[in-house]
Amino acid sequence: MAERKDRPRKFSRFDADVRRRSLIEATARCLVRDGFEGASVRRICQEAGVSAGLLRHYFDGKDDLVATTYDTMAADLARITHEKLTATPGPAEARLDAFFVVSFTPEFVSEEALLAWVAFWRLIRTDRRFKEMHRRVYAAYRQDLADVLGEIAADRGIRIDPRLAALSLTGLIDGLWLELSLDPTAFTPDEAVDVCRNWVDSFMERRPVGHFGAEASAGADG
């Protein structure tokens, strides 16, 4: 019986996903190290250990790869925060607390993460594709916060504008994240979590007024 020659191995969808992910991760590292201008196709391919031809097989050049990298990183962040705010067992306050804790872990707070986001922020200002992705991701992020803050307010018998409350809390979290990324000695992640917890208690323990409170406008109409 003649020996059967081994057939060429067919690459599976899993192989393709792994290769795409390796290029995305290499792009993120190059953006951190070299910035957008320095993250050339050649450097990205060297970082990923692949040929430029393979990059072009999966992406329509550098701009498409960088956009996909941003979309992937933003989606990963959104998925983790969404899970904390919606799937954590317990009441709304417990879910929000879990969200605070994960928001200041090394996975999200580091000089490397900051440098990657700075590169993306520059593109958000000038590139329509990035701008639309940013709006979509952060709208969903703020909506998750608005939903859980609305639940907490209802549990405490307080009427608020959840959308504006979420906007306020997002500003606080982003500011703490930025400062902690720039200077890890300024305060600890636990202190950042405490600041956020105190914001919730302070906000919820008083009757919100002005734009934040539905009660103020209701009273003015009466």
Give residue 13's pLDDT.
52
Using a pLDDT cut of 70, give the percent of the chain over it.
86
Distance CA(159)–CA(207), nearest Å, equals 8
Distance CA(33)–CA(112), nearest Å, equals 8
Architecture of domain 14-59 in this structure: Orthogonal Bundle (1.10)
Asked whether residue 163 carries a pLDDT value surpassing 60, the answer given is yes
Q: What type of residue sits at position 18?
A: V
Give residue 206's pLDDT.
59
pLDDT band at 75 (very low <50, low <70, confident <90, very high): confident
- Domain boundaries defined on the chain: 14-59, 62-221
Give residue 8's pLDDT.
45
Q: Please state the rounded mean pLDDT for residues 38-62.
A: 89
Give residue 208's pLDDT.
46
Contact (CB, 8 A) for 93 and 153? no
Architecture of domain 62-221 in this structure: Orthogonal Bundle (1.10)
Q: Please state the rounded mean pLDDT for residues 194-211.
A: 77
Model-level pTM?
0.77
**Cβ of 15: how many Cβ atoms within 10 Å?**
11
Taken in order 99, 102, 103, 104, the sign of the CA dihedral is: positive
Asked whether residue 211 carries a pLDDT value surpassing 70, the answer given is no
Contact (CB, 8 A) for 120 and 98? no
When mean pLDDT is compared over 105-109, 129-133, 144-148, the highest value belongs to 144-148
Least confident of 91-100, 129-138, 146-155: 129-138
